[in-house]
Structure 1
Amino acid sequence: MTAARPVALDAEAPRGTSFVATPTPRLTWRTETDASDWTQRSAELEFASAGARRTATIDSSDSVLVPWPFEPLTPGQDGELRVRVTGADHATSDWSEPLTVRAGFLAPGRWHAEPIGLTTPTRPAEPGLVRTEFELPAPVRRATLFATATGAYQVAINGNDVDDQVLKPGWTPYQYRLIHETTDVTALLAEGANAVGIRFAGAWATELYGFRDRAHRVYAEQPSVALQLIVEHTDGTTTELVTDGTWRAGHGPITASGIYAGESYDARLAQPGWSAAGFDDGGWSPARVAEPTIVPEPRTSPPVRRIEEVAVAEVISTPSGRTILDFGQNLVGRLRITVSGQEGRIITLRHAEVLEHGELGVRPLRAAAAADTYTLAGTGEQTWEPEFSFHGFRYAEVAGWPGDLDPASVVAVVIHSDMERTGWFTSSHDLVNRLHENVVWGQRGNFLYLPTDCPQRDERLGWTGDIQVFAPTASFLFDSRTFLSSWLADLALEQRAADGVVPFIVPNVLGPVRPAAAWGDAATVVPSVLLERFADRGTLEAQYESMTAWTDHLLDLAGERHLWEGRFQFGDWLDPTAPPESPADAKAHPDIVASAYMYRSADLVAHAAAVLGHDADARRYRDRAEQVRTAFLAEYVTPAGRMMSDAQTAYALAIVFDIAPATQHGALGRRLAKLVRESGYRIGTGFVGTPIIADALTRTGHLDVATRLLTQTECPSWLYPVTMGATTIWERWDSTLPDGSINPGQMTSFNHYALGAIADWLHRTVAGLAPAEPGYRTLLIQPRPLPGFTHARAEHRTPYGTAAVGWRRDGDTVTVTATVPPNTRARVILPGTGEELTVSSGGHEWSVSVPVAAEPPGPVGLDTSLAAVIDDEQAYATLLRVLGEVSPDAAEDVRAHTTWVPGRSLRERLDHAAGADAADRVAEAYAELSAGRGH
């Protein structure tokens, strides 16, 4: 038996750094042990700083986001933190490895840096360089750099970049909140002459936002940077350097740069040694001091880094003779090229997610050029990668390459916020596995400083509706807590400026705001998810004012009817029946969506108030939620359990949000299942209904229907894009049409994570791993073996340690295995049983009998009902095969436009769609099929 050992001690420092943003960071540690039933009885924390050691005892089992138990840190303070734990068996562990904790913030009033930029820019959003030289009078003991930009920047000291971060400081609402990085640069400085240089470009700060002719700059005409360097010497003195008008500004080899446009680099303009001491900057001019900005605050979210490199999978010569590189994966980042050639030669790199008619499919990019250019210096082999732009792409067209292109000379560099991967899923269904992998890549590409809708076209905005539905999935796959909590701080600032209304996007660059259901509800949903998945009570508390302001605004809009009616809504956005030019034109009535979400927000605020101890608020919002529920049921749900908007999303909302009473769930679920069958087990939901429809079916006893919906490969479905070669989640169910052409709508993306929210159901329901208490303090283990699947497994690195649940079917026996982390327990509901077990930490295995429901298929013929045909997968496949041989148009008509109801025979449908010859051929095929079944 291995003794308990505390590991992964964390003090909320951004990943890859030791700097904390607050004087009182919360502390988390995990405990590893082979012992089963291990529970922490107490923990002892030790903090050593400035020669003093302080200890604190936690007399509880708490080990996640524990409040800082020592005196608050002071600016510049550092120390080493250790923890040791005592179990319920009274055995005490050894001390953990020490964690360095450094205060990464300045004291109030200590930020003195002035924002600076190019002296006399000649055009908007002009990239540039600034530099200075200085003397250090004594050896360096410690040096800390605080730096930021309205734009994007990188600092080099004595010729060396200070870190490996990309596009820092990222995008926040610059008028309200600016982030600074804190970096230890001790190793880069020395007594005597030193130099600091900053490369910068406009990035998000100078981008043109808005659609078509409404695009304009929101934040700044020109980028600016600000830096403060504090050097502590061995003799006790301090040297401080700040950006100001004494710095020198010049132009570098980056001649143009934009998020949407891409970047241009002229290697002939490179100035070697420009960021080192002794460089002759006589041709440079004094830097321009820009208008003062707000005082920046330290980073809390993970920085963006280069995460992975992807090699060329195929070199394609297009029908027009162009050269395109296929990287085999839709990704986000940029290309790194290694090339030599004649001075002045220009290489152009154009990016896109798909090909159309064998050429680069750039129409979905709209106004985004997504093109980089590199001008050779003619000085031998050179390696280059754009610095202040990024693209969403699988394919890159290369023009101007000198000589033959060796694919090994080009690599795709994947960039995104550097979050720890924490969740995995696999099953016996290969297409579902690929779907899940597509979800992972979609999150990676769209979690780049903020949760964007898409990473490729002239948008890349923080749409609130997308992250509202995807937050549970995101929180399973990656440690997204600080990423999302930082974005929520931006949301609250934008909302405060809009009198409580949450903008459609955060940061808001689209102008005046108005409320929209499921979008603005990110204010209540995302903090609630962070509580559920990470036990993050602190973010819930920080966002409570935002949560209540949004909900109060909705309740005021609803008035005495307690319904949100007749106003602008996105509704069930991108319902598959919505025409390409009108994505909000969904089957589910927008008022139903709006009022359902109003109930949900009131309900979530009531729960948050109870958690935070605001008892009066909890009662008030519970009462208001009940008023909304009562009004919703009276207006939209009949006593027989039918929705006034007879659409899949409407039923799912009433069921999953627990608006309808449990007594009506059976009737609502039966109607929902019928609607799914009538649609041929194809998706009938958009952004709102898709994340919850499988849950609605599961909760009402229709797991078989949910399985058919999940495993459907016809369009629209989750797996249709997989069969079309997708490697990320599409924005539209038919972003690529079956003939391989791109959807004709003006809004088409091939990397949009919202519809990938189904992955959370795969984790919680198919594999059976869910939180029963905040932060997985108690797990809910309840696997639901899907018909036709032989195994599934999910693994998640919870705040307490790795939890895993898997099941495997062998005949009628299902074996379930589970790993419960130390200091937690689990509620277990095994397949085929109604019993609930409670188990402690450790490994567990159970075997239960779950007979496969196998009714032998019956005979089929032209008089078989349409419902029976669609329920019989073999009969349905035979029908489409035969019709396709006789009349492809008839086959598509039957596939796409049949309502598969029990009261109508196949003969009636074929008489209308295909004619007598086709009907005779189907009858012959069905006779053969029935004979093979023994009928």
Structure 2
Amino acid sequence: MTTTVKLRAEYREDSPWVATARPRLSWVVETSEPGWVQTAAEVLLDDSRSAVLDGADHVLVAWPFDDLLPRQEVTVRVRVRDGEGNWLESGPCVIRFGALDVDEWRAAFVALAEPDAAAQPFIARHRIHISGELVCATMYWSALGVATFRVDGRVVDDAVLSPGWTSYPHRVLHETVDVTALLSAGDHTLGFEVFGGWYTESYGFADEAERVYGDQPSVAAQLHLRYADGTEEVISSDGEWEASGAGAFITSGIYDGEKIDLRRAEDWWLTTAPRWPAAVVGAQQPVPVARFSEPVRRIAEREVLEVITTPSGRTVLDFGQNIVGRLRFSVSGPAGTEVVIRHAEVLEDGEIATRPLRRAAATDTFILSGSERDVFEPSGTFHGFRYAEVSGWPGILDPAAIRAVVLHSDMRRTGWLTTSHPLLQRLHENVVWSMRGNFLALPTDCPQRDERLGWTGDAQIFAPTASTLFDCNAFLANWLTDLRLDQDSSGGVVPTIVPNVFGFAWPAAGWGDAATIVPSVLEERYADEGVLVDSIASMRAWVDKEIEAAGGVGLWETTLQFGDWLDPSAPPDMAGASKVAPGIVATSYLCRSLDLLAVAAERGGHSGGAQRASAQAAQVREAFRSAYLTADGRMLSDAPTAYALALQFDLITDDDVRRALASRLAHVVKRDAFHISTGFIGTPLVLDALTDHGYDREASALLLQTRAPSWLYPVTMGATTIWERWDSMLPDGSINPGEMTSFNHYALGAVVDWMYRRLAGITPEEPGYAGIRFAPVALAGLDDIEAEVDTVSGRIRGGWRRRGAQIEWSLTVPAHARAVVEIPGVERQEVGTGSYSWVTDDERPVPVAASTLWSPVSAVVDDPAAYAAVMSVLDEHDPALADNVRRRTDWTLQTPLAAALFSVPGPVVAQIAASLEKISHAEDPVMRE
């Protein structure tokens, strides 16, 4: 039996550098020993000092030693004692303090003295002399824009687009790099390739777009040297540095793309060219602070799947997956030859579809040097694409010479889910890919068009799913830092985007509530109480603004809202026109945020604040019930999102009323023939609301629906990421006419959190999964599901599989957790560390009578095979008519199917009758569920 201990410091595992002098420590024991528990731990520092901690704490444990000093390196180990008194020891964890005090930062931001154009890329360099043997050389560098750091022309590390995007007026990050091995005694050149990146981009829609931060990028660097003789030297960027725009990079923009001319690619790092004047800029910029989250890196590469010749004769490369990144390729040809690459997510009429990109050109231009072989890859930009149109390639294009480089913040993968249902499996993978593409420096809405902004609503909706699929604790904690800073500058209102390049902010429910929801998710999933406590003031300020906007503690119906954004019934040009009254959404979120504030305040020791928030939440609940709940247990907006909010946000607490609401929810879901009818707000909640109240069959029909709108419809259309709209692409292959249409937008993929928690059964009941609720739902239409989640308490595995007339359930509980097991047919029990399995009888579906033209529509829709047959015949005849029949029919009625088909031509009705007759004679005709 193998037992190991894994130790990590603070947030990062990809680097020894930490951003705090008192890094919190976390460790996980991996063991299969049943019933294992931790009773104590001993933290060892450099094998010379130790601190003993009683109990089971093992996540983000406070640093038990003196503060670290800048650049100090220490080695930490942990010894863990089990219930039998045995001690287990981890391997070494090297920690280096990578931050500077504010008064230690001396570097000035330098830029081109005389730029030729706005946002001009440039090279910065500085020659240095190393006078002896170095013990330590640490470079701290930052940029207003993005940069690549080189020593003597050699790229120093594997991060790209560094230091990323933050709320520049309030916070700028610096990178920390050890360059000791690169600086022997003698002369060296420090150099940077600097691009505008997010700093010089123009933000806004259509003609209103403008630069928000600055017109030119800049870079700052500070090198700390410690020699073997004990002397120290600090070299900082200043007016003596050099800057030139003569490099190979001509233009660069996040939206437009990049132009590279390798005819200009001299060895600028070592040349003795005349001095290039640099200008000192950014005097009012905040002092850079150390990065504590993972940087963006090149994560993977993809080969060309197919070379397509379009109807117009253009050459298009298909990489088989919608990704975020850029191309790298090698090519040879005459000097001055221009190779142009245009990027797009989908094809329309056989050509790359660029309309959804709006004003983003997403085009890279490469000019050949004429040498034997040129190698190209952009440095200051990225694109969202599956397809790349190539023009100007000299000779015959060789797809083997081209790779798509996948970029995203380098988070560790933590969630895996497998099922034999191919469409559901692909849906899960689409969500994973959408998260990869949109978790790049910050959580964005989309990665391809002229937007790519940190919409707060998208982030809070997706945060539970994100924290299951990847370890994004540091990533989201970093973004929350900017959220709080932008909130402060907006007088307590949380902007709808962070960083707030719009410059204005108004209280928008479901968006601003990211201030309360995201920290609460991080505490729930990672046991990060620190980020929750740090967010209390922000949470309180936001809730106060909500109440102010509402005109007092009660209903919130007084301000502009997004509502249930992108409700599938909304017109293409009116994304906020949902079936649910905006006041229901806003009031629900006000109550939700008050509840979360009460929990956070209690955790932070503010019992008075917690009681106040709880009392206010009770007032909001009463106002909600009085205004929106009818006497017969219906919501004023008779739509799934209204019921899901009332149930899942506990707006209604009376058990009898909740049962009535759940029943009505099941009814309205069936009324829409089990097609999705929720937008951003309702989508993460509707399946929970159904399965929590026993409506598993309705949940199954909704989840596994393949017609638009549904989760699986895009999969049937070949989607490899999550779409912004339920019908971003229409069944005929054309793109939704709405001006706002993306094919990589993670929000509607928030269903994946439910798939892990309820379908596979791995639900966190205590922070960091220290307590697990294993209550999986074996949905009809699925044969199996299994999930793994690598949590701060260890790796959890859970799921189930149908075997004939039985179901096999399995659960593995890690060392630092325990689980409550609630399986149908099994007595409720609590289990500790170990692997468990159970076998129960499978409940057979309720027999359904064979459907005919005279069957009630309510019976037809309850028979998946019959409903599919009806719609298939209609689709073959006229997809528009099929959609019209589906939408105008109330599928809960006893109306005969024939009556619902009144506008369908007689021959088509006859074909439907024949299809139903064929099904009725199929094998096992009454067990088609």
Q: Same fold (TM over 0.5)?
A: yes
Quick one: which of 728, 733, 747 aligns to 1:740? 733
Distance in 2, Cα, partners of 1:889 & 1:223: 52
Q: Label 1:701 to 1:340 Cα distance change in 2 as closer, same or farther (>3 A).
A: same
SS at match of 2:788: strand
5+ long unaligned stretches in structure 2 = none
- Is the contact made by 1:656 and 1:696 (CA closer than 8 Å) also made in structure 2? yes
Q: Label 1:326 to 1:917 Cα distance change in 2 as closer, same or farther (>3 A).
A: closer
Q: Label 1:112 to 1:881 Cα distance change in 2 as closer, same or farther (>3 A).
A: closer
Equivalence map 1:144-223=2 (5 Å): 144-223=138-217
Quick one: which of 211, 223, 226 aligns to 1:229? 223
The alignment status of 1:44 with 2:38, answered yes or no, reads no
Quick one: which of 316, 322, 329 aligns to 2:321? 329
- Is the contact made by 1:13 and 1:21 (CA closer than 8 Å) also made in structure 2? no
Quick one: which of 66, 71, 92 aligns to 1:76? 71
- Is the contact made by 1:114 and 1:292 (CA closer than 8 Å) also made in structure 2? no
Matching residue of 2:10: 12
- Is the contact made by 1:150 and 1:224 (CA closer than 8 Å) also made in structure 2? yes
Segment of structure 1 superposing worse, 366-375 or 547-556: 547-556
Matching residue of 2:892: 901
Offset, 1:901: 2.6
The alignment status of 1:787 with 2:786, answered yes or no, reads no
Identity of aligned residues (%): 50
The alignment status of 1:421 with 2:413, answered yes or no, reads yes
SS at match of 2:832: strand
Matching residue of 2:551: 559
SS at match of 1:822: coil
Matching residue of 1:868: 859
Tell me the alpha carbon deviations over residues 869-891 of structure 1, each in whole angstroms, 9 at most, x when there is no partner: 11112222232344456666543
Matching residue of 2:745: 752
Distance in 2, Cα, partners of 1:120 & 1:882: 68
Distance in 1, Cα, partners of 2:522 & 2:350: 44
Equivalence map 1:650-729=2 (5 Å): 650-661=642-653, 662-729=655-722
Quick one: which of 835, 838, 842 aligns to 1:843? 835
Q: Label 1:884 to 1:296 Cα distance change in 2 as closer, same or farther (>3 A).
A: closer
Quick one: which of 16, 21, 24 aligns to 1:26? 24
Segment of structure 1 superposing worse, 843-852 or 650-659: 843-852
Q: Label 1:260 to 1:424 Cα distance change in 2 as closer, same or farther (>3 A).
A: same
Matching residue of 1:266: 261
- Is the contact made by 1:575 and 1:584 (CA closer than 8 Å) also made in structure 2? yes
Tell me the alpha carbon deviations over residues 653-686 of structure 1, each in whole angstroms, 9 at most, x when there is no partner: 0011111123212111111111111111101000
Tell me the alpha carbon deviations over residues 736-795 of structure 1, each in whole angstroms, 9 at most, x when there is no partner: 000001111100000000000000010001111111110011111111111121111010
Tell me the alpha carbon deviations over residues 401-449 of structure 1, each in whole angstroms, 9 at most, x when there is no partner: 0000000111000000000000001112110000000000000000001
Distance in 2, Cα, partners of 1:445 & 1:125: 25
Matching residue of 1:63: 58
SS at match of 1:509: coil
Offset, 1:566: 3.0
The alignment status of 1:488 with 2:480, answered yes or no, reads yes
SS at match of 1:229: strand
Q: Label 1:134 to 1:878 Cα distance change in 2 as closer, same or farther (>3 A).
A: closer
Distance in 2, Cα, partners of 1:63 & 1:179: 29
- Give, as a single letter, the amino acid of the residue that structure 2 aligns with 1:16: D
- Give, as a single letter, the amino acid of the residue that structure 1 aligns with 2:904: A
- Is the contact made by 1:425 and 1:793 (CA closer than 8 Å) also made in structure 2? yes
- Give, as a single letter, the amino acid of the residue that structure 2 aligns with 1:462: G
Distance in 1, Cα, partners of 2:637 & 2:495: 27
- Give, as a single letter, the amino acid of the residue that structure 1 aligns with 2:266: Q
- Is the contact made by 1:231 and 1:240 (CA closer than 8 Å) also made in structure 2? yes
Q: Label 1:150 to 1:925 Cα distance change in 2 as closer, same or farther (>3 A).
A: closer
Matching residue of 1:90: 85
Matching residue of 1:807: 800
Distance in 2, Cα, partners of 1:70 & 1:447: 34
The alignment status of 1:594 with 2:589, answered yes or no, reads no
SS at match of 1:757: helix
Tell me the alpha carbon deviations over residues 687-706 of structure 1, each in whole angstroms, 9 at most, x when there is no partner: 00011100011112111101
Distance in 2, Cα, partners of 1:761 & 1:886: 37
SS at match of 1:109: helix
TM-score, structure 2 normalization = 0.98
Q: Label 1:884 to 1:749 Cα distance change in 2 as closer, same or farther (>3 A).
A: closer
- Give, as a single letter, the amino acid of the residue that structure 1 aligns with 2:558: G
Quick one: which of 499, 505, 513 aligns to 1:513? 505
- Give, as a single letter, the amino acid of the residue that structure 2 aligns with 1:225: V
Distance in 2, Cα, partners of 1:357 & 1:771: 47
SS at match of 2:324: strand
The alignment status of 1:612 with 2:604, answered yes or no, reads yes
SS at match of 1:101: strand
Q: Label 1:227 to 1:626 Cα distance change in 2 as closer, same or farther (>3 A).
A: same
Quick one: which of 517, 522, 533 aligns to 1:530? 522
Segment of structure 1 superposing worse, 188-197 or 845-854: 845-854
Offset, 1:925: 4.3
Q: Label 1:375 to 1:793 Cα distance change in 2 as closer, same or farther (>3 A).
A: same
Equivalence map 1:214-363=2 (5 Å): 214-251=208-245, 252-272=247-267, 274-276=268-270, 279-282=271-274, 284-363=276-355
Superposition RMSD on alpha carbons, in Å?
Answer: 1.5
TM-score, structure 1 normalization = 0.97
Q: Label 1:120 to 1:592 Cα distance change in 2 as closer, same or farther (>3 A).
A: same
SS at match of 1:904: coil
Distance in 1, Cα, partners of 2:881 & 2:324: 41
Offset, 1:613: 1.8
Tell me the alpha carbon deviations over residues 349-368 of structure 1, each in whole angstroms, 9 at most, x when there is no partner: 10000001000100000000
Q: Label 1:444 to 1:934 Cα distance change in 2 as closer, same or farther (>3 A).
A: closer
Distance in 1, Cα, partners of 2:394 & 2:275: 33
Give the total of aligned pairs. 923
- Give, as a single letter, the amino acid of the residue that structure 2 aligns with 1:357: D
- Give, as a single letter, the amino acid of the residue that structure 1 aligns with 2:218: S
Offset, 1:142: 0.5
- Give, as a single letter, the amino acid of the residue that structure 2 aligns with 1:794: A
SS at match of 1:484: helix
Segment of structure 1 superposing worse, 314-323 or 609-618: 609-618
- Is the contact made by 1:593 and 1:650 (CA closer than 8 Å) also made in structure 2? yes
5+ long unaligned stretches in structure 1 = none
Distance in 2, Cα, partners of 1:72 & 1:288: 34
Matching residue of 1:463: 455
Distance in 1, Cα, partners of 2:598 & 2:406: 41
Tell me the alpha carbon deviations over residues 1-43 of structure 1, each in whole angstroms, 9 at most, x when there is no partner: 33x4312x11125342111101111100111223211111111
Offset, 1:292: 4.2
The alignment status of 1:761 with 2:754, answered yes or no, reads yes
- Give, as a single letter, the amino acid of the residue that structure 2 aligns with 1:267: L
Matching residue of 2:763: 770
Segment of structure 1 superposing worse, 388-397 or 287-296: 287-296
Offset, 1:288: 4.4
Tell me the alpha carbon deviations over residues 333-383 of structure 1, each in whole angstroms, 9 at most, x when there is no partner: 000010010000010010000001000100000000000011000011111
Distance in 1, Cα, partners of 2:199 & 2:878: 56
- Is the contact made by 2:123 and 2:243 (CA closer than 8 Å) also made in structure 1? yes
Offset, 1:723: 0.3
Offset, 1:848: 1.9
SS at match of 2:814: strand
The alignment status of 1:133 with 2:119, answered yes or no, reads no
- Give, as a single letter, the amino acid of the residue that structure 1 aligns with 2:588: A
- Is the contact made by 1:105 and 1:298 (CA closer than 8 Å) also made in structure 2? yes
Offset, 1:815: 1.2
